[in-house]
């Protein structure tokens, strides 16, 4: 009960506090009673979160967990899984941006075959980036023309810059996190949002099959998984037995057929049809 209350209080108070901060930065004069009530509410929520976290941490330690494991379990209990996954998208996206700048790729070991898929989505992301930058400049000009306070303009500028960075991070994740074929596995990814590892011994067949009407980026229908780019897939992999695929927001599905898109199916098919060397570990 206490855990549910702590979660509900956290997600109720944080948006209200963020709104209060935006109003204050924008130069809006709020009644003193509102400010006092807001600070009291935030203080009460922080105390509740602290007590709940302390109890969860203590319970984990008493059950034999080390400090790091106990801390991780505490965070997992307080923050819902979907919220943690969304936060992880941001982290992986920013890491991908750094890798892109450094001209490096994630999860491509020596000897592995990288299978890119980002070329198809690049024009669309370039368009979105252009619109985002244009909107940032337009908003600043508009707010200045309306005589908006500097604080409000700063808040809007920060939000617009974050949106621009998010588009770049999505683009970078697609470039730096390709599909990967190693001696032991096929790794199918969709930027920072999806990652599926399929052991090579489970693959019974692989073929080219173009589909231009996929529903969504990652979709599952009757044990058939589709990992699409711009509603397209062009490679189909059949499995001897189902594997578990974890979709972007955390729901799981057992799948025995996988369709995915790559810029050039040829190298992927050649690598997958090549017999892996005996004793090669899953990671290559």
**pLDDT, tens digit, for every residue of 64-120?**
888 788 777 777 777 777 777 888 898 999 999 999 999 999 999 999 999 999 999
Domain boundaries, the chain: 2-79, 81-284
pLDDT above 70: percentage of residues in the chain: 79
Helix 150-176 with 2-25: angle, nearest 10 deg: 120
Strand ordering across the sheet containing 218-221: 203-211, 233-246, 252-260, 224-227, 218-221
> Between these two residues, 96 and 7, which has the higher pLDDT value?
96
Q: Where are the alpha helices (DSSP H) in 26-121?
A: 32-62, 67-78, 81-101
Listed range (26-35, 145-154, 167-176, 213-222) with the worst mean pLDDT = 26-35
Mean pLDDT of the chain: 83
Dihedral of CA 139/143/145/150: which sign? negative
pLDDT band at residue 278 under the 50/70/90 scheme:
low
- H or E segment at 196? strand 194-199
What pTM was computed for the model?
A: 0.77
In this predicted structure, what is the pLDDT of residue 34?
59
> Between these two residues, 38 and 166, which has the higher pLDDT value?
166
> Between these two residues, 23 and 200, which has the higher pLDDT value?
200
Mean pLDDT along residues 219-223: 93
């Amino acid at each position: 009960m206490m855990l549910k209350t702590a979660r509900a209080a956290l997600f109720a108070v944080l948006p209200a506090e963020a709104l209060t901060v935006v109003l204050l930065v924008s130069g809006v004069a709020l009644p003193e009673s509102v400010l006092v009530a807001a600070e009291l509410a935030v203080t009460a929520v922080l105390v509740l979160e602290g007590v709940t976290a302390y109890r969860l941490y203590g319970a984990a330690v008493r059950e034999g967990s080390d400090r790091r494991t106990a801390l991780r379990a505490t965070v997992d209990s307080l923050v819902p899984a979907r919220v943690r996954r969304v936060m992880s998208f941001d982290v992986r996206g920013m890491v991908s941006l750094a890798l892109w700048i450094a001209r490096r790729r994630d999860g491509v070991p020596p000897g592995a075959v990288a299978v890119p898929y980002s070329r198809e989505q690049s024009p669309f992301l370039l368009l979105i980036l252009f619109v985002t930058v244009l909107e940032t400049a337009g908003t600043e000009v508009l707010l200045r023309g309306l005589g908006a306070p500097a604080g409000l303009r700063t808040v809007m500028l920060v939000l617009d810059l974050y949106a621009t960075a998010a588009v770049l991070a999505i683009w970078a994740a697609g470039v730096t996190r390709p599909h990967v074929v190693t001696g032991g596995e096929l790794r199918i990814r969709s930027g920072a949002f999806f990652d599926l590892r399929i052991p090579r011994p489970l693959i019974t067949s692989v073929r080219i099959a173009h589909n231009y009407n996929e529903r969504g980026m990652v979709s599952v229908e009757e044990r058939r998984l589709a990992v699409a780019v711009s509603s397209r897939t062009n490679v189909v992999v059949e499995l001897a037995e189902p594997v578990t695929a974890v979709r972007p927001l955390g729901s799981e599905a057992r799948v025995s057929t996988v369709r995915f898109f790559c810029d050039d199916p040829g190298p992927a098919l050649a690598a997958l049809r090549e017999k892996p060397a005996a004793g090669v570990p899953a990671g290559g």
